[in-house]
Structure 1
Amino acid sequence: MSESAAGPVGTAQEHENGAATRRRPGRRPGTADTRGQILAAASKIFAEKGFDKATIRGIAREAEVDPALVHHYFESKEGVFVAAMRLPADPGQVVTRVLEGPRDRVGYRLVKEILTVTAEPAAREPILALMRTAMTNEQALTMIREFITRAILGRVMAVAGVPPMRMEAAFSQIFGMLMMRYIVRLEPLASADIDEVAELVGPSIQRYMTGD
């Protein structure tokens, strides 16, 4: 009697399990690892398509989640990029802080902000890794160039009215400063105090950006 009672139950469970395995796959809801899935997908999409051609929908499709979840965790494509590349700060927030103060100290504040967010080895290593990769990998170079152009240079040019050539010249000097300080480790620049470097390099950046 117990066997016959158990039989229909077992059959029902088998049907239910079979239906589950046959259920058509769809976009996964948020889970404990959703953020990690999105970041893995974003890294792949950015590497393949670059920053400009990557989209929130494309990243969501690769991660098999709803695009709303990408917005929920990262707000924007820039936010996804910052997290996927493990950058130590959101460039948009850095630019906002740089542009908040007096115009005649923009160069100083820009240098100081960049040196401050890269002060800790663990924070700057992802940036240095990207810089090294960009020197030998065309796809990485394109991705980084597009991100810098949209997220940093474009934002400063729009808010401060800096011409493209001036902004790019300023950024190239900052890039060189980071190379000499953290990769080549040229002394005494490598161990100099942040304020000291900002006071030294800032006026040159200021001249590039504003002509002052």
Structure 2
Amino acid sequence: MSAPAASRSARGRRPGAPDTRAEVLSAARASFAEKGFRGTTIRAVAAAAGVDPALVHHYFGSKDDLFVAALEIPVDPREVLAPVVAAGPDGAGERLLRAFLGVWDDPEVQPGLLAMVRSLVADDTGGLVRDAFIPVVVGPVLAGLVPDRPEVRVPLVASQVVGLIVARYLLAVPAMAQMPADDVVARVGPVLQHYLTGDLP
């Protein structure tokens, strides 16, 4: 390699390498945990990882996608919910719950989901559940199912689902943890349907 070429290489930003993606994710996790979703920028994550912001966009796309990747969720909730939304609002409460339970009751996926939820719940400063996970990951998808007032309906659905996660998986309350999935769908699905499309006071 010529001296000028070597000099240019030394001065330039570090190019993509096998470990660059992992370093970007590490920087993103640290930033989301410390500054929350709103306080994190692609530029700041790139600077912390020592790469160009364009490389972050190349690997992850938008800040929303970077956030989902940083959570290390075994499945992307947006992909799980997409078929539920595509089928329309009628019966969406039960379909949503079946899709949700199908993922959470999978023994290969559940440990990763539990780790992700514990990480989100443990975050007291960034407000990642409030400011990012619900409005960024779940909210825009569920908004496609509601006829009006998404700012009310989506948080109601989220509150029911989060409560179910805590009772059935985190705390493993026997009555909820041992309840067959079909029974959960039959009992909770109509509640979600009401939140999605029913009359609200």
Q: TM-score, normalising length from structure 1?
A: 0.78
| Per-residue deviation, 1:37 | 0.9
Q: Which runs of 5+ in 1 are unaligned?
A: 1-15
Tell me, yes or no, if the aligned pair for 2:72 and 2:116 is still in contact at 8 Å. Answer: no
Spell out the pairing of 1:1-212 with structure 2 (5 A cutoff): 23-24=10-11, 26-140=12-126, 142-147=127-132, 148-157=134-143, 160-163=146-149, 164-211=151-198
| Per-residue deviation, 1:29 | 0.5
SS at match of 2:188: helix
State the alpha-carbon separation in 2 of the partners of residues 127 and 50 from structure 1: 20
Alignment length (residue pairs): 193
Q: Which runs of 5+ in 2 are unaligned?
A: none
Structure with more helix by fraction: 1
RMSD: 2.6
Share of identical aligned residues, percent?
39
Aligned-partner residue type, residue 157 of structure 2: A
State the alpha-carbon separation in 2 of the partners of residues 78 and 122 from structure 1: 25
The verdict on how the C-alpha distance between 1:199 and 1:102 changes in structure 2, with shifts beyond 3 A counting, is farther
| Per-residue deviation, 1:117 | 2.0
In our comparison, the structure showing a higher alpha carbon Rg is 1
The verdict on how the C-alpha distance between 1:69 and 1:136 changes in structure 2, with shifts beyond 3 A counting, is closer
State the alpha-carbon separation in 2 of the partners of residues 99 and 116 from structure 1: 16
